Structure 1
Amino acid sequence: MSRVVALSYYPIKGCAGVAVDDAMLTFAGLTHDRSFMVVGEGGVFRSQRRSPRLALIRPGISAEGRRLTLRGPDLEPLAIDVDTSGARRDIELFGAPFKGIDQGDGAAEWLSEFLGDPSRLVRVPPEHNRVTDGRTPGTSGYADSCAVHILSLASWDLLNERMAARGGAPLPMDRFRPNIVVDGWDEPHTEDLARRIAIGDAELRYAKLAIRCVVTMVDQATGAKAGPEPLRTLAGYRRAAEGGVAFGSKFAVHRPGKLSVGDEVIVGAWGESEL
């Protein structure tokens, strides 16, 4: 029987995640997932691709989403009241224009000092109407694409085995920043084949493979780039037709609901691998 063994959401895009035992799944993903984003001058988003120190920022957000705390080494924590009604500013995510609600000078100063570059913090506005791509369209906050990223322990184990065979060390799961980790699928990459999944009260529909980038080479504990793994090993057996390497799958939310660690993962429809 396949079950959820880990749930994580990432309040600020690119920053550390929050592991939980229970979560509400909305159409935009786990509650508070990627609802904030750090932007640089001109409103262009920051990510670990160019700002790996984002990994060291450990945000905390209150259950109702009204209070956000920023924590990181060498700086005093900063707590702010979340602004959901302020002026919108133009921002850019992968070349696409969006809007964000600026969270004030205090957060901007804290982030600018920590990252060493002028930065500001924005929040998804209530009218955010992003449409994500893939086999099943959906929506999300400031995630790279789809609302939910699922990865199985079997896929992770196979990758670590292959890296070990090359003399490499295993990598922790946090390198891949999944929202839902599944155990009980005997075959690696079963998540690539699941087309309709029920977990708890919720239902998800397959959107596309998760194409991996250089963020997987950032050590999430130190905020330093530590490549060439896992991309080097993945390139040997997980090359995607559209380019890059695939590891894990992205899903759109078909029916919101509560999820919990330990919930059974029920696949209602299967498909063929797109790899």
Structure 2
Amino acid sequence: MSQTQAVSYPLVGAQPVEDAAAQAYHGRWHVLDASGRLLPEGGPELANVSVTLRFGYLVLQAPGMLRLDIPLGVIEDDPSALRMVRADGKEIRVADEGAWAAEWFSQVLGQPVRLVKICEPVVG
């Protein structure tokens, strides 16, 4: 990666994105384990997931899997998709990215998980 380009991690634990536009999405997507806790890193399987931004989508690819495209600009206004989770001792609101993303990540990680997008910035 070049030293002049900004590096960000839209999906925590996955491969970084070297794109200035990705800075706006740094740390927005996380994987939840079966108990509803955010996985801090996700293990080596998640580190194999490549991430790019393309045409308004977070594009995810993993070995042996079809590509998964997640819309970047969705407004989380459906209450059934929202939930509260604990991270670093704080309650944060997240939007569940749905069954298709959950199945994709469960296959990649080899355990039942959910993909969520943080709706509110985590303030330190």
Same fold by TM (over 0.5)?
Answer: yes
Shift in Å, 1:129: 4.7
Compared CA separation, residues 60 and 5, structure 1 to 2 (3 A): closer
Aligned equivalent of 2:63: 73
In 2, the alpha carbon distance for the partners of 1:5 and 1:81 equals: 27
Call closer, same or farther: CA 1:10–1:69 in 2, change over 3 Å.
same
Letter in 1 for 2:8: Y
Deviations 1:6-62 (A, max 9, x none): 421111011111113xx269xxxx2111111111123201133x6232110112233
The match for 1:112 is: 106
Aligned residues of 1:84 and 1:101 also touching (Cα < 8 A): no
1:41 counterpart residue number: 34
- Superposition TM-score, scaled by structure 2 size: 0.80
Distance 2:51 2:21 in 1: 18
| Higher strand content, 1 or 2 | 1
Q: How does 1:246-265 map to 2 (within 5 A)?
A: none
**What amino acid does structure 2 have at the position aligned with 1:59?**
V
Structure 2: distance between partners of 1:36 and 1:84: 14
Q: From the superposition, tell whether residues 14 and 38 of structure 1 become closer, same or farther in structure 2 (CA, over 3 Å).
A: same
* Larger RCO (CA within 8 A; separation ≥ 6): 1
- Greater Cα radius of gyration, structure 1 or 2: 1
Aligned equivalent of 1:131: 123
Partner residue in 1 for 2:44: 52
CA positional deviation for 1:95? 3.4
The TM-score normalised by the length of structure 1 is 0.39
Residues 47 and 69 (structure 1), Cα distance of their counterparts in 2 relative to 1, 3 Å cut: same
The structure 1 segments of at least 4 consecutive aligned residues displaced by more than 6 Å after TM superposition are none
Q: Which runs of 5+ in 1 are unaligned?
A: 133-275
Aligned to 2:10: 11
Q: Distance in 2 between matches of 1:6 and 1:58?
A: 17
Q: Kindly tell me: are residues 72 and 95 of structure 1, through their superposed partners in 2, closer, same or farther at Cα, counting changes over 3 Å?
A: same
Structure 2 unmatched runs, 5+? none
CA drift at 1:89: 1.0
Question: What is the CA distance between 1:68 and its match in structure 2?
Answer: 2.2
Deviations, residues 155-177 of structure 1 (Å, cap 9, x unaligned): xxxxxxxxxxxxxxxxxxxxxxx
- Map Cα deviations across residues 68-102 of structure 1 (whole Å, 9 max, x no partner): 22200011112233543133112222332211011
